[in-house]
Amino acid sequence: MSLLEVINLMVFYENAVAINNVNLSCGKGLITGVFGANSAGKTTLMFTVSGMILDTARKEKMRGGIRITVMGDILFEGRSIMDVEPSRRAHLGIVLCPERRRIFKESTVIENLKIGGIIATKAQARTTLEYVFRIFPALVKLRKREAGFLSGGEQQMLAIGRALMAQPKFLLLDEPLLGLSPVMEEILINAISDVRRAIGLTTMISEQYARPVFPIIDYGYVLENGGVVVEGPAHDLMENPDVKSAYFGLQEE
Ligand code: ATP
């Protein structure tokens, strides 16, 4: 059963199409990968599902900036969320962990995590905090450190930890591995995989290259110029020669 369904989604920035008739679905408890080059539309898709695009569209309108148009439908647990505000979507369990780790740089690690847990009950926040420290033990000794002083990888751990504190049912991870070393990539991938095993969290993860996330995804979509060009179970994608060379960095033997 799908937890999230995107139907004929179109997003325009003025007259330029950023998401072009996208249909996708994310099965409950599964990890769905969305792959594509720069400007393929990954961030726009994440912003549209989380509802952040509504805020951006409103801000642009107020300052007389660009016109953002969204068409089509997004169903979460079978109901349309197209008109649901982003804060309400977060309460429903749709939580975005944005690209480039937008943490509060002047707050400490523990403060960032507690801010993430604002919509959780006290008991949930306590249990989740323990869990976050278990999957990211490096954060324990950094708990009083200002987030701005953490390394890129530590900041990404914190960003994911903060998103988990919000008790997601559906977690959106926008390019979580961007700019990280292979060692750090592995730590994060193991943590994301642990979260799925431990709490069966449904996740959508976007990356430019599929290779590092391939071992943990169930189903994947490849976006080009805002449209889905290939989709399939992880194994089938890996066998597709086009996908293999462009997104896995592997050549046909
Ligand atoms: P990246 O990996 O660079 O983040 P992406 O796959 O996430 O790329 P998007 O950022 O969603 O792609 O961009 C999709 C298209 O929409 C691009 O052509 C981009 O220039 C355009 N776009 C994105 N945000 C805006 C905006 N605020 N105003 C105008 N055009 C935008």
**pLDDT for 117:** 87
Report the pLDDT averaged over residues 228-243: 86
Q: Is the pLDDT of residue 140 over 90?
A: yes
**50: Cβ contacts below 8 Å, ≥ 6 apart:** 86, 89, 90, 94, 95, 96, 172
Give yes or no for residue 18 CB within 6 A of ligand 1. yes
pLDDT digits (tens, 9 = 90+) for 58-101: 999 999 999 999 999 999 999 999 999 999 999 999 999 987 77
Query: Is the CB–ligand 1 distance for residue 13 below 6 Å?
Result: yes
In the predicted model, what is the mean pLDDT of the chain? 92
Hunting for tokens 């943590």 — which residue is that?
A: 191
Question: Ligand 1 centroid to 9 CA: how many Å?
Answer: 15
For 175-217, how does the pLDDT look when each residue is reduced to its tens digit (9 = 90+)? 999 989 999 999 999 999 999 998 899 999 999 988 889 889 9
Mean per-residue pLDDT, 107-122: 91
Taking the C-alpha atoms of residue 129 and residue 54, their distance in angstroms, rounded to an integer, is 30
Residue nearest to atom 16 of ligand 1 (CA): 18
Ligand 1: centre distance to CA 13 (Å): 9
pLDDT over threshold 90, residue 235: no
For ligand 1, the distance from its centroid to the CA atom of residue 173, given in whole angstroms, is 16
Bridge partner list, 16: 13
The structural domains of the chain, ordered by start, are 1-93+169-182+200-246 (3.40.50.300), 102-167 (no CATH)
Q: What pLDDT is stored for residue 248 in this prediction? A: 62
Residue 109 burial (10 A CB sphere; 0-12, 13-18, 19+) = buried
| pLDDT given for residue 101 in this prediction | 74
Predicted confidence (pLDDT) at residue 252 exceeds the cutoff of 70: no
Label the pairing between strands 16-27 and 2-13: antiparallel
How many angstroms separate the CA atoms of 142 and 148, rounded? 12
pTM of the model: 0.93
Measured CA to CA, the distance from residue 29 to residue 27 in angstroms comes to 6
> How many whole angstroms separate alpha carbon 64 and alpha carbon 225?
26
The yes-or-no verdict on residue 246 having pLDDT over 70 is: no
Q: Which amino acid is at 251?
A: Q
Alpha helices by DSSP H, the chain: 42-50, 52-62, 86-92, 109-116, 122-135, 152-165, 182-199, 234-239, 241-247
Which residue's C-alpha comes closest to atom 2 of ligand 1?
38
pLDDT at 253: 42
Contact 66, 2 (CB under 8 A): no
Q: Could you tell me the pLDDT band of residue 249, with boundaries at 50, 70 and 90?
A: low
Average pLDDT for residues 93-111, to the nearest whole number?
A: 89
Quote the percentage of the chain above a pLDDT of 90. Answer: 80
- Stretch 244-251: mean pLDDT, rounded? 60
Q: Which amino acid is at 242?
A: D
